[in-house]
Structure 1
Amino acid sequence: MTLQDAPHPIALKPSLRTRIAQSLSDPLLRALVASTAVSRIGRGVFLSVTVLYFTLIIGLSAGEAAVVLAVSSAFGVLASFLGGWLADRWSARRMTFVFEAVGAVLLATYAFANTFVAALVIATLAGFFDTIAHSSRSAIIARGFAPDKRVHARAVLRTVTNLSIAIGSGIAAIALALGTPEAYRAVIVGAGVIGILGTLPLLRLPESVDAPTRSVEPVRTETGSIDTLTTADAVRAARADWRRRSPWRDRRYLLLTLLSAVFGMQFGVAELGVPLWITTRTTAPEVVVAVILILNTALVVLFQVRASRGTHDVRTAGRVTLIAGWLMAAACIVYALAAGLPTWVAIAVLLSAAVLHTFAEILSQAGAWGLSFELADSVRAGAYQGVFGMGFSVGALAAPILVNATAITYGLVGWVVLAALFLASAAGIWLIARRAAEQPVLRASDAAEAADAS
């Protein structure tokens, strides 16, 4: 047998441990993963006990608790853009460390709140600083990773986030089981301490994740002295270029942000619509809500990284978003069909809808990450990510109102409206991506440069 006739070795697929090790070989991703893994455990503890702590321990009414959460979310809208804006001017790594640490300290102070006003102030400040830090993290990812690695990094971090929140929810179950004020306050303080510990790995982030220094070299004459007038003109030109690169001048990116915010309201369907639908319109037991949450977490952990491969390509990102739109539309219809069915049939239908919904979530997130990075101006990465995050915050704020006004109020007809809305927004994103891939649209800054050159 000749060498040419010898059988070729079979390429073996790397094991899960090997793939994880390869992902964490990057020191930047390793630091972000370590920080996320620890800090999100604390966030998982807090999310699991928040509403019950407000109502059972502090004694707030359901309406007062809703006001606290709504006001906190409203301030998060402003914080999303502010965090990205600041990350283009200050050190993003120092900002993220400081604001996440402050947010964790404020989270711990919930244990000492005993009035509506105290809860409102703490919730507003904690949410504000945490959201600023989140936007700053997005700027770090945009600058710190190569274009084909950014979405992978986001997918890995989202997977870690889901695992950590699940662990945090398990810790919170201790307080829920004991039901005493002391138990609630102990786990809340513990969540804050865990959050502070989660900021320590951020100290290892490299300086490369910070925005480039904005400076203009002084223009000198032939004799070596500084030409004041020419230097002043250069400074004004640099400032004008900076303003031209604002995301608020980029109509394509603003439309992408709007449509992504609309599709992002699918999280409101999961958090509010599905629990209310199960408990008010179906014969399924309430425990199905928890089962769906566990199913969602497991599928995200298993498939988010895999589904995100290749979505740094604009065309691919648009295509997976359109698939997500069809899946989400189908999920809405299947959720609606669970009403009035026998218990076990309703459970099976609801779980089927939850699977469709989760894969729509996974694919839509992968597409959104890819497009939000690739269609942004790299010079103003922080501001662009801040605007995109602000869109999601607005969507999260509007989602409860929309879901209640459609699916919960009108049943099947309302679910059909939601299905059409999600499919239309996904189709719009797909069109933006397709046109960007075929004929990129000049941003305001690029158009100005082209005009100056001509």
Structure 2
Amino acid sequence: MSEDLDREPASAEQPGAGLGAIATWRQTSVTSKALLFGVFVNRLGAFLQIFLVLFMTHRGFTAGQAGFALGIYGAGHVLGSFVGGWLTDRLSARAATLISMLGSAALIVSILYIDVYWVILLAILTVSTVSQLNRPAAQAMLAELTKPGQLVMTMAMYRLAINLGTAVTPIVGVALVSVSYSLLFWAEAFAAVLYSAIAWKFLPGKAAPDAAADAAKAAEPKQGYRAVLADWRYDFYLAAVFLVTIVYCQYIAVLPLAIVDQGLSLWWYSLVVSANAVVVAVCEVPATKYVQKWPLRITAIAGFGLVAVGYGVYAIALIPVLLILGTIIWTASEIIGAPTTFAYPGMVAPPHLRGRYSGAMLSVFGLGNAVGPAVGVWVWSHIGQAFWLWAGAVAILSAVCARIGMRRPDEQPATASAAPEAAT
């Protein structure tokens, strides 16, 4: 029965399946459009992570202290995603967003007036955690408001809002820093306040009690994140996200070191990184019109497995032609897999656990980005060019985990098979 389900597209018989970006946008609710605009505004003002090291050294701290502060900021992202998922389910996406934006706006400005290093670290951890609370809220709200067949395309537009904001942020940040770091921090606080105003105006409060959702919740033997972990297939999906994130981020950690080690100019590194950003921004949304109709097993294998192929090309030799070819291949993996990967928690989560399912995914995603660079650089320093073969092997393992873990949205969760009477 499971194999029969897998042969059908994930979006089959779902309303709005297969629509392009423009048609999906026209059918998108005003609330979702406002949320996407708020996400863009928030990313447009996300200066702290980019300029944190420069700010710390400007204040007189050492490069090592600045680097440790950046690591603390990454740890806050992991913690914030976890707490944000709980807060979204417990209160509402609107409440989680307001707490996140108003709290981070107040906290980020305080960093300007702190001189003691360990207090600055505490402030950075708090700011990072609070600012991340809105991410699970945004994904859960989009899943709630979007027709099932349009969720992958909506997530592609959500990622486009993030990527566009991220692309412009460094340019705006440099202009602000040229005036003063104080202006930079106040600008990020203003962007957070603006997003909170959008959330206050357009996002709904906690929905009225749903009898069916309440009955499903009462029937579950486990609640909260324990219920998420009890879904063993979703655990495989989380493992896939964690592993592929560790591998994927090596293009910013190991690749520049490997290029220099091979005697190539860093110009080639800047070329492939810029090409990746441009191709993803231009191609991801149009490609999603077709990818959203694929079976999840195909998306999983392509989205996760092509990272292994791209890095495997690097393993042959880091010469310009193979550098470009490998980059095109792993960029294709992001275009194919990322919208579905971000949409998947909303596809399979019970309504009362959407925040936690999204929070769990974002937590492992953040954890992979946090530990990946350190692990990658350590391994590369010991085995050199063979690193890319090991990276490809881990990416293949992530594809296997994704294939096991990603089920059709209309299938029962893995835990339901153990208690069919309760499911009925």
Change beyond 3 A, Cα 1:374–1:19 = closer
Q: 1:292 aligns with which of 263, 272, 282?
A: 272
When the two chains are superposed, the root-mean-square deviation of aligned CA atoms in Å is 3.1
Q: 1:438, 1:33 → 2: CA distance?
A: 24
Q: 1:257 offset after TM fit, Å?
A: 0.8
Residue of structure 2 in register with 1:58 after alignment: 59
1:261·1:394 contact (CA, 8 Å) conserved in 2? yes
> Helix, strand or coil for the counterpart of 2:370?
helix
> Helix, strand or coil for the counterpart of 2:263?
coil
1:444 corresponds to which letter in structure 2? T
TM-score (norm. length: structure 1): 0.78
Change beyond 3 A, Cα 1:267–1:210 = farther
Change beyond 3 A, Cα 1:107–1:291 = farther
Q: 1:262 offset after TM fit, Å?
A: 0.8
Is 1:429 aligned to 2:402, yes or no?
A: yes
Q: 2:284 aligns with which of 304, 308, 317?
A: 304
Q: Deviations over 1:50-73 (max 9, x none)?
A: 222222x02222322232222332
Q: 2:37, 2:197 → 1: CA distance?
A: 9
Q: Deviations over 1:258-314 (max 9, x none)?
A: 1221112234213322233334x133333444433322221111122223336566x
Q: 2:105, 2:315 → 1: CA distance?
A: 39
1:204 corresponds to which letter in structure 2? K
Q: 1:49 offset after TM fit, Å?
A: 1.9
Residue of structure 1 in register with 2:41 after alignment: 38
Deviates more, 1:152-161 or 1:270-279: 270-279
Q: Deviations over 1:77-123 (max 9, x none)?
A: 23222211221121211221231232233334443344422431221
Residue of structure 2 in register with 1:444 after alignment: 415
2:89 corresponds to which letter in structure 1? D
Answer with 1 or 2: which has the greater Rg.
1
Q: 1:311, 1:291 → 2: CA distance?
A: 27
Is 1:213 aligned to 2:213, yes or no?
A: no
Q: 2:42, 2:31 → 1: CA distance?
A: 17
2:21·2:285 contact (CA, 8 Å) conserved in 1? no
1:406·1:415 contact (CA, 8 Å) conserved in 2? no
Q: In percent, how many aligned pairs have the same letter?
A: 20
User: Which runs of no fewer than 5 residues in structure 2 stay unpaired?
Assistant: 1-19
Q: 1:328 offset after TM fit, Å?
A: 1.2
The within-5 A match list for 1:88-237 is 88-174=89-175, 178=178, 183-207=180-204, 210=206, 213=209
Q: 1:410, 1:326 → 2: CA distance?
A: 23
1:163·1:297 contact (CA, 8 Å) conserved in 2? no
1:136 corresponds to which letter in structure 2? A
2:174 corresponds to which letter in structure 1? A
Is 1:247 aligned to 2:222, yes or no?
A: no
Deviates more, 1:78-87 or 1:107-116: 107-116
Q: 1:48, 1:78 → 2: CA distance?
A: 19
Quick one: higher RCO (CA 8 Å, sep 6+), 1 or 2? 2
1:336·1:411 contact (CA, 8 Å) conserved in 2? no
2:201 corresponds to which letter in structure 1? R
Q: 1:129 offset after TM fit, Å?
A: 0.8
User: Which runs of no fewer than 5 residues in structure 1 stay unpaired?
Assistant: 1-17, 217-233, 340-345
Residue of structure 2 in register with 1:220 after alignment: none
> Helix, strand or coil for the counterpart of 1:243?
coil
Change beyond 3 A, Cα 1:189–1:154 = same
2:313·2:325 contact (CA, 8 Å) conserved in 1? yes
Deviates more, 1:105-114 or 1:25-34: 105-114
Deviates more, 1:364-373 or 1:250-259: 364-373
2:109·2:189 contact (CA, 8 Å) conserved in 1? yes
Q: 1:242, 1:90 → 2: CA distance?
A: 22
Q: Deviations over 1:116-172 (max 9, x none)?
A: 224312210111012221111121122121211222111102112111221111112
Q: 1:396, 1:152 → 2: CA distance?
A: 24
Is 1:332 aligned to 2:302, yes or no?
A: no
2:197 corresponds to which letter in structure 1? L
2:54 corresponds to which letter in structure 1? L
Q: 1:47, 1:238 → 2: CA distance?
A: 38
Deviates more, 1:263-272 or 1:154-163: 263-272
